[in-house]
Amino acid sequence: MKFSAACVLALSASASAFAPASTSSRSTQLNALKDDLSNAAKIAFAGALAVGVASQPVMALTKSEINQLSYLQVKGTGLANRCPEVVGEGTITPKSGQRLVDMCIEPKAWAVEEEIGKAGKTEKKFVNSKVMTRQTYTLDGIEGKIENSGNIVFKEEEGIDYAATTVQLPGGERVPFLFTVKDLVAKGNGNAFKPGFQMGGEFSTPSYRTGLFLDPKGRGGTTGYDMAVALPGLQSGEEGDDELFNENNKVFDVTTGRIEMEVNKVNTEEQEIGGVFVATQLSDTDMGSKIPKKVLTKGIFYARVD
């Protein structure tokens, strides 16, 4: 797929390495990744635009066509995981106070940063990955306020704005992450939605697991054991539980991701916009015990101005 290939090639030169660090420098390391993610999203988006935007899927329907379908007509078809198609190339100039509603963000391709060895050297590259999650990874019903004082600014407020997702690398390793756009503040490059309009910004990525989750040894963030009960010898003595510190001390990590979007379709009559996006974020840390990987997500989006 040209869209995916171009993004991966564009990212090859921009991916920056990060290595495991000690517990004391862990928070510093997560903060350092913020700039890398921001740059990766921008470069990937530029690569995607160089070869054109992603085409709509065969099953794509407009919002009005979807609204005419009954539950039984949608059930089992996968349409519930698809974003509506937008037809038209008009222009919409929203006013401050209006809202962007019914936003749908549908991923089409995923890539995970990995170390690739070649000629005795290793380098960081984004590797295409296969989604293992069933068709529940699309975000939908997102809405928020629009501000327009010369440049459009969209602030996400609510909706189904997160989806637990897992992708698998070619070697078989599975990488879980929370696909999300929580608290997104996207700033545009103009005062009107029209083909070519771009907007992007940062969002918060909550921990993949919550404090009530218990690991196989019964340890959790807000409940459960505070140590591996079956391994007392490794958690006593002068060094204490240094070897198992990260596994024993669960944390709720909140990291930062970035998304870049471009509008390529505008239906003035229905006040609808559609386009493509590229998002970068960090994967699951297993509540502090693992170093996260960088995840790249590419796909399409839909929204309506209300």
Per-residue pLDDT tens for 41-83? 555 555 554 444 444 445 678 999 999 999 999 998 889 999 9
pLDDT tens profile 9-18: 444 434 333 3
Percentage of residues in the chain having pLDDT higher than 90? 55
Confidence of residue 19 (pLDDT cuts 50, 70, 90): very low
Average pLDDT in the 123-148 region? Answer: 93
Instruction: Please say if the pLDDT value at position 285 is more than 60.
Output: yes
- Can you give the pLDDT at residue 31? 55
Please tell me the pTM assigned to this model: 0.78
- Can you give the pLDDT at residue 211? 80
Long-range contact pairs involving 54-59 (C-beta distance under 8 Å, separation at least 24): 54/3, 54/108, 54/276, 54/298, 54/299, 54/300, 56/85, 56/300, 57/82
CB atoms within 10 A of CB 193: 27
- Can you give the pLDDT at residue 21? 40
